[in-house]
Each structure stands twice: as C-alpha cells, then as structure tokens.
Amino acid sequence: MRQPVNSTVSFNNPLIRLISDQKFRWLRHSLFLLLGLILAFKGDFGVVNDPRSPELLRAVRISDAISFIFIMGMIYLLILVLIPKLLFRSKVFLFAFCFFIIIVIIYFVIWAIDLYLLQPVIPANNNLQRIDLSIIVFIQIAAVTCVLLGSVVGLVIFKKWINDVQHMHELQQANLRTELEQLKSQVNPHFLFNTLNNLLVLTKTDPEKATQVLLGLSDLLRYQLYDSARETILLSKDIEFIRNLVALEQIRKNDLTVELAVEGKIDNVQLPPFLFIPFVENAIKHGASTVGHSYLNLHFQIKEDRLLFTAENSKPPVKQNLVGGLGLKNIQRRLMLIYPGNHRLEITDLADKYIVNLNIPL
C-alpha cells in the first residue's frame, strides 16, 4: 500500500503587491491624479490651437479645471465613502442608487459647463457639438461615466480581495507555524517515552546493559535539548543521533542487524531536526523489538538538490497489537507543513517488511 503525500502552495505576484501594498499608496494616488488630468485637460486641440479664439481657449481651460476637480471629487467620494460605507457593508441597493445619482450629477455638471462657459464664447463657424438635456445625450455621458467609475469600483474591490486573501494567508501561516511547533514538541517526548520503556525492561533483565543505555541516553538527551531546539541542524548530527539510537537498541536486543549507509556529500547540509527519527522509532517498535532475528536498513542519498531517505525493517510473522503511531502521524503532518507540494513520502507495508521512502529538497 503506497501513500503519496502532497500539498499546495500559495502565490505571490509583483502586480498584486503594487495594487495592495501600503508603501505603494502614493503611486496609486498619483496614477489616479494623472488619469484625472488626462481626462479633464485633453481639451479640444482644434480650439486650443486656434489663435482667433482666445476667449474660447480660456473657457475651455476653466471648464477643464472644473472637470478635473469634479472628476477627482467623484472618484474619491467612491473610494473613501460610498464603497467602504455602503458596498463593503452589503448595502448594495443604496450604493447603486448613489452611483446613479453621481451619474446624473455628472451629466448636469457637464451640461452646465457647456451652457454657461462654452456656448457663450463658441464662434458661429465652430462645429463643437452642443450638449442638450436629452435622453440620448444622457445615455452617452452615462456610458462613459460608468466605464470610468466602474473601473475605479472594480479596482477597489480587487484591492480589498487581495488584502483579504493576504490576511487569511498570514493568519494561516501563523497557525501553521504554531501547529508545527506543537508537532515538533510532540515528537521529542514520544522518543523519550519509547526509550524509557526499553530502559525499564533492561533494568529487570540486564542491569549492566541498562547502565550502558543510561550513558547513551545522556548523549541523546543532549541532542534533544540543545540541537533539536534549533530551526535547522546539520544532517550529520541527525545521522549521528540515529546511530546512537540504534546502538542502544542493539544493546537491548542482540539479534538485531542494522545497516546505515550514507551516499553523497552531507557536509554543511542543513535540515529541520527530527525528520527521520520517527521512521527509525517506528521501525524499531514494529520490527526490531520483535522476538527472533530482525533487521533494519537505513540509507541516506544526496542526489543533486534532493535527499532520498529509505528505511526498511523486518516485520514479525505474527501480527502484534501495538498501540501508538503518534510520532509517524506527526512527522507526516510536519512534512506537509515544511515542504508543501515539494516532497514525496511513500510507505510500503508488506507482510514481512515495512519500507519508507522519503524524498525532500535540500
């Protein structure tokens, strides 16, 4: 039976950071101002470049300035008031009504600018279109206004969605870090519990071996208290810990064959602690601790930027009812948290042996 373990990863995008990060707020507002300037002061170049219409040129510039102030006022009214106070509070119908009122106000402002500023100074031979109070003109202005203000609304909604996703992601990461520390803290007592159980048996059957186990246990506890408390440790120290662990088991059980092979350069390889110990403990508990001859084969292989770990142990011919499995479940969860979507764990449970294959990045 093979059990692949996979996970998913979150995404990060520079454009999303530009839209959502607080430090780019000045840039976003600058772009809004630039957009307002372009829309307001685009003017009528035919009129502006006509030296025979100085009064019309002045009227166009005044109307452009009024349009700029009014456009920015409507945009920031949406951004600062209507969207957060109405739309984000699920007052959709009230927001839609206010949005329609803004369109109506924009229509009348454009009509008033044309009537009182431009029409009185437009030469008779100029072909500038007159803005009348009519449904057709209202629909034309409303269509352009909806595109402009609708784009602003969509951008603000998208920004809020990004911020919500980032907030949930940060909260999830904080919860995962807390869970990871809890899982890690559960691994260490689990190992100590198994070792003390073995020591209890030896104190009754072989006190001399129990003394040797106590001496070896002091070295293991030193590793557990100091080295494993770090974020990462040298792979060589983890392997040394495993050597001491199986050596203690061989003291307790003479009829146990252990082979530990390392292939590749492990110098300066840093990994989170206690990634392999639970698999070794599980092999000892369910295989090496059985009556009769048993074996445990461990293999570490460094291949390019990956580490391949294999643990194979014998199983007793008669099925035992062993309670536990906490350490194995914890390490599976830890692997999912540390290497989401970038590791592969395969467990093969056969009648006479148990095989673990783990592939993780370096």
Question: Could you tell me if 272 and 351 lie in one domain?
Answer: yes
Q: Let me know if residue 89 belongs to a domain.
A: yes
Residue 323: per-residue pLDDT: 46
How many whole angstroms separate alpha carbon 84 and alpha carbon 359? Answer: 48
Question: Could you tell me if 50 and 103 lie in one domain?
Answer: yes
| More confident of the two residues 54 and 310 | 310
On whether the CB atoms of residues 307 and 360 are closer than 8 A, the answer is yes
60-116 residue pLDDT tens: 778 878 878 888 888 888 888 998 889 888 888 999 999 999 888 888 888 888 777
How many whole angstroms separate alpha carbon 352 and alpha carbon 362? Answer: 32
How many whole angstroms separate alpha carbon 110 and alpha carbon 133? Answer: 10
Indicate the helix (H) or strand (E) that contains 105: helix 92-113
Residue 47: per-residue pLDDT: 47
Residue type, 212: Q
Structure tokens at 249: 């088991």
Q: Let me know if residue 159 belongs to a domain.
A: no
Q: Quickly state the pLDDT bin for 194 (edges 50, 70, 90).
A: low
Question: Could you tell me if 258 and 319 lie in one domain?
Answer: yes
Question: Could you tell me if 329 and 241 lie in one domain?
Answer: yes
Q: Let me know if residue 106 belongs to a domain.
A: yes
Indicate the helix (H) or strand (E) that contains 34: helix 25-41
CATH number, domain with residue 289: 3.30.565.10
* Domain span at 295: 177-361
Residue 300: per-residue pLDDT: 94
Residue 8: per-residue pLDDT: 37
Per-residue pLDDT, averaged over 325-352, amounts to 80
**Nearest-CA neighbor of 59 among 126, 112, 114, 5?**
114
On whether the CB atoms of residues 208 and 199 are closer than 8 A, the answer is no
| More confident of the two residues 197 and 135 | 135
Residue 171: per-residue pLDDT: 56
Residue 79: per-residue pLDDT: 86
Q: Let me know if residue 146 belongs to a domain.
A: no
- Residue 195 pLDDT greater than 80, yes or no: no
Question: Could you tell me if 191 and 321 lie in one domain?
Answer: yes
Domain stop point among 133, 162, 190: 133
Q: Give the number of domains in the chain.
A: 2
DSSP 158-223: HHHHHHHHHHHHHHHHHHHHHHHHHHHHHHHHHHHHHHHHHHHHHHHH-HHHHHHHHHHHHHHHHI
Longest dimension (CA), the chain: 118
Question: Could you tell me if 193 and 323 lie in one domain?
Answer: yes
| Percentage of the residues of the chain whose pLDDT score is greater than 70 | 70
On whether the CB atoms of residues 217 and 254 are closer than 8 A, the answer is no
Residue 240: per-residue pLDDT: 83
Q: Let me know if residue 8 belongs to a domain.
A: no
Domain stop point among 100, 118, 133: 133
Would the pTM of this model clear 0.85, i.e. be above it?
no
Q: Let me know if residue 222 belongs to a domain.
A: yes
Question: Could you tell me if 102 and 213 lie in one domain?
Answer: no
Four-CA torsion 68, 72, 75, 80, nearest 10 degrees = -170
Question: Could you tell me if 116 and 198 lie in one domain?
Answer: no
Domain stop point among 112, 133, 154: 133
Q: Quickly state the pLDDT bin for 49 (edges 50, 70, 90).
A: low
Question: Could you tell me if 182 and 123 lie in one domain?
Answer: no
- Residue 359 pLDDT greater than 90, yes or no: yes
Q: Let me know if residue 140 belongs to a domain.
A: no
How many whole angstroms separate alpha carbon 120 and alpha carbon 115? Answer: 7
Question: Could you tell me if 118 and 30 lie in one domain?
Answer: yes
Q: Let me know if residue 236 belongs to a domain.
A: yes
On whether the CB atoms of residues 99 and 152 are closer than 8 A, the answer is no
Question: Could you tell me if 89 and 187 lie in one domain?
Answer: no
224-274 residue pLDDT tens: 666 656 778 888 888 888 887 787 777 767 778 889 999 988 888 888 877
Mean pLDDT of the chain: 75
Residues 6+ apart with CB under 8 A from 192: 221, 224
- Residue 183 pLDDT greater than 90, yes or no: no
DSSP 214-274: HHHHHHHHHIIIIITTSS-EEHHHHHHHHHHHHHHHHHH-SSEEEEEEEES--TT-EE-SS
| More confident of the two residues 362 and 37 | 362
Question: Could you tell me if 114 and 239 lie in one domain?
Answer: no
140-177 residue pLDDT tens: 888 888 888 888 888 888 888 877 777 777 656 655 66
How many whole angstroms separate alpha carbon 66 and alpha carbon 2? Answer: 72
Structure tokens at 196: 């003390």
